[in-house]
Amino acid sequence: MSVKPSQTISSEIAQVIEDLEYDFHKFELLDFVDHIANYRRKPILLVPFPFQSHIFGVWVPALNHNYVFFNERVPYVHRVHTILHELAHILLDHPRHRLEDVLPPELLEALRVEESEGRLRCAPTETSRLDYAEQESEDFVLVVQRSVVKANLLIELTQESTSIAGLKPITDSMGYNS
Amino acid sequence: MSTGKLILILALWLMYVVLFLRAMLQKRGPEHLRLRVWTQFFLSCLAFTFTGQDTEIWADAFFDHLPVSIYVKFFCMIQIAHLYHGMTYTIMPLSQARVNALRHLHRTAILVGLVSFLAFILFDYRPDLSFRYEVNAARDVVLALYIILSLLPTTLFLRRNERVETMRLKHGLSILFCITYLIITGTSLISLLVVRLNLMDIELLLPWFLPFTYVLYALFLLLLLPHRWIVVLLIPGRLWTYRRLRRLQRTVAHFAHIQIDDMSTRWRGSSLFELELLIYQVTISILDHIPLMENRSQEIAFYPALAQLAQADLTYPALVKALVAVRFD
């Protein structure tokens, strides 16, 4: 992942985030996904998939849905990052590429995906580092990260305020995680 | 009451009001829990307000020297323990026998307290100064039983199972709080014996006993603080984690034949949250590049450990800890 200081984040990304009118004080991943789906008026389905280790996620637009496949074998924090990256492709209307040998044809057929096109997030290469769309998506995730951190909710990206489920309502009530 | 103590009490109440309003405005957590939690802190502040013999004498003067102060503390502190027990005993389930025992203890203590206080009012009786030692000892014994049977076992369980560092720190402080209170219970019982049997001047024992009370107050104030305010205690550890991850990131990038923008993940000492954000970003960068090392896996001794972590179902804190522990140097 290549990251940039916030000053070099494009104004387009900043505008897209602002237009979302999302309250990052209440950031939760699934809530954010739903918000974007409503904003774009097209459902977004998150699908876990046992990709090889170097493939982290894929965005595949279909007729009635946007599918975001994510590698189910990677740690949660990596999955979240990948999902946010794919959401960026959706929001920023990035051009799609032909996806060869990423998803089984029968799966694509079942999902009514006519053309196997989309965006792939995988282990970075020199090519992907030069791809502006990939860089823009990483920048988008960076902005979301900063917004969430500013809203003191890094825990939502990392799934932790307390690791003990029964204690979380109590710590939330105390305002401990802010 | 001395001016210093008055300022301390006012500062405590101010802190309570600010934190309480903050918690209510944020509306995080179920409302009934929020009220319950902050009722406990309110009762704690109330009990603290009446702390100290001089304060008790000063406050009781407003009630015609009825022992109001020691009873306020009695009821407040027992109720605090009971409310906390009620919130937490399901997290680490206690035996029904213990739960029932504590329920009976609570009812008995409150009933005895109410009846005795009412008796003072009805018979217009003013106890001597040594009475406070009896009430304090009784109160502390009740609290000690709550600590031994519920609060301490639960907190130990929470600390053992907690993986968030700031929360582990809080559990550690809670354990210290419990242990300190058990010591204070011992001092209360000793004080009662000394006074009742007239063994010696109780004032001679105060320099030995009072420090534990101050430790308790300090721990209470620390427990009141939100995560962010005490996270400063974790800076050295997080800085070390960050530096270690950065070195791992550079090492991974070297073996993956990828150039990374090193400056973009450099901490400029701006804020703790920036540091946490950078730890997060460096972690993602490492995870992204691990698959690129596969071609050279035979020559990289630490590759199997990294490959395993890249596919591990670990929580974020556990993942960071595991990455830091990888022996790459």
Proportion of chain B above pLDDT 90, given as a percent: 42
Binning pLDDT at 50, 70 and 90, where does residue A176 land? low
Q: Is the pLDDT of residue A6 over 50?
A: no
Bridging pattern class, strands A117-122 and A97-98 = antiparallel
Residue B241 with chain A: CB contacts under 8 Å:
none
Of A100-114, A122-136, B210-224, B240-254, which has the strongest mean pLDDT? B240-254
Residue A1 with chain B: CB contacts under 8 Å:
281, 284-285, 288
Is A5 in contact with B264 (Cβ distance < 8 A)? yes
Matching residue, tokens 């929020």: B34
| Nearest Cβ partner for A173 among B29, B277, B292 | B29
Residue B317 with chain A: CB contacts under 8 Å:
158, 160, 163
Q: To the nearest whole angstrom, how far is the Cα of B88 from the nearest Cα of chain A?
A: 8
| Nearest Cβ partner for B228 among A81, A122, A152 | A152
Binning pLDDT at 50, 70 and 90, where does residue A175 land? low
Q: To the nearest whole angstrom, how far is the Cα of B123 from the nearest Cα of chain A?
A: 43
Is A176 in contact with B319 (Cβ distance < 8 A)? no
Tokens of B109: 């203590």
Q: Check CB contact of A145 with chain B, cutoff 8 Å.
A: yes
Is B37 in contact with A142 (Cβ distance < 8 A)? no
Residue pairs between chains A and B whose CB atoms are closer than 8 Å: 162
| Nearest Cβ partner for A161 among B164, B281, B289 | B164
- ipTM for the whole complex: 0.83
Residue B290 with chain A: CB contacts under 8 Å:
53, 123
| Rounded Cα distance, B144 and A137, in Å | 56
pLDDT confidence of residue A5: 45
Residue B294 with chain A: CB contacts under 8 Å:
53-54
Q: Check CB contact of B268 with chain A, cutoff 8 Å.
A: no
Q: To the nearest whole angstrom, how far is the Cα of B113 from the nearest Cα of chain A?
A: 29
| Rounded Cα distance, B141 and B118, in Å | 22
Is B315 in contact with A73 (Cβ distance < 8 A)? no
- Whether the CB-CB separation of A115 and B327 falls below 8 Å is answered with no
Is A3 in contact with B317 (Cβ distance < 8 A)? no
Query: What pLDDT, in 10s, does the model give residues A131-172?
Result: 888 989 998 998 888 887 666 555 555 655 676 777 777 777
| Rounded Cα distance, B67 and B109, in Å | 17
| DSSP letters spanning B27-89 | T-S-HHHHHHHHHHHHHHHHHHHT-SHHHHHHHHGGGTT-SHHHHHHHHHHHHHHHHHHHHHT
Helix-strand-coil split of chain B, %, nearest 5:
80, 0, 20
- Whether the CB-CB separation of B136 and B202 falls below 8 Å is answered with no
Give the global pTM. Answer: 0.61
Which one of A24, A167, A178 would you mutate to disrupt binding with B, by most B Cβ within 10 Å of its Cβ? A167
Q: Across the beta sheet with A44-49, what order do the strands follow?
A: A44-49, A66-71, A55-61, A117-122, A97-98
Residue A74 with chain B: CB contacts under 8 Å:
287, 310-311
Q: Is the pLDDT of residue B158 over 80?
A: yes
Largest CA distance in chain B: 90
CA A97 to chain centre: 18
Query: What pLDDT, in 10s, does the model give residues A25-74?
Result: 778 899 999 999 999 999 999 999 999 989 999 999 988 899 999 999 99
| Nearest Cβ partner for B19 among A163, A170, A175 | A175
Residue B163 with chain A: CB contacts under 8 Å:
160, 163
Q: Check CB contact of B228 with chain A, cutoff 8 Å.
A: yes
Look up residue B102 and give its amino acid: L
- Long-range contacts, stretch B258-265, CB < 8 angstroms, 24+ apart: B258/A124, B258/A125, B258/A126, B258/A129, B258/B289, B258/B292, B260/A2, B260/B285, B261/A2, B261/A3, B261/A4, B264/A2, B264/A3, B264/A4, B264/A5, B265/A3
Residue of B nearest to A77 (CA): B316
pLDDT confidence of residue A4: 43
B172-201 average pLDDT score:
93
Higher-confidence residue of B9 and A47: namely: A47
Q: Check CB contact of B28 with chain A, cutoff 8 Å.
A: yes
pLDDT confidence of residue B74: 95
Q: To the nearest whole angstrom, how far is the Cα of A47 from the nearest Cα of chain B?
A: 17
CA B74 to chain centre: 21
| Rounded Cα distance, B177 and B219, in Å | 6
Q: How many helices (H) and strands (E) does chain B have?
A: 14, 0
Which one of B173, B270, B287 would you mutate to disrupt binding with A, by most A Cβ within 10 Å of its Cβ? B287
Which of residues 69 through 88 in chain B touch A, CB cutoff 8 A?
87-88
Is A152 in contact with B277 (Cβ distance < 8 A)? no
Residue A152 with chain B: CB contacts under 8 Å:
228, 273
List beta partners, residue A97.
A118
B194-219 average pLDDT score:
88
Question: Residue A120: which of A52, A34, A20 has the closest Cα?
Answer: A52
Q: Is the pLDDT of residue B103 over 60?
A: yes
Question: Residue B154: which of B261, B51, B81 has the closest Cα?
Answer: B81
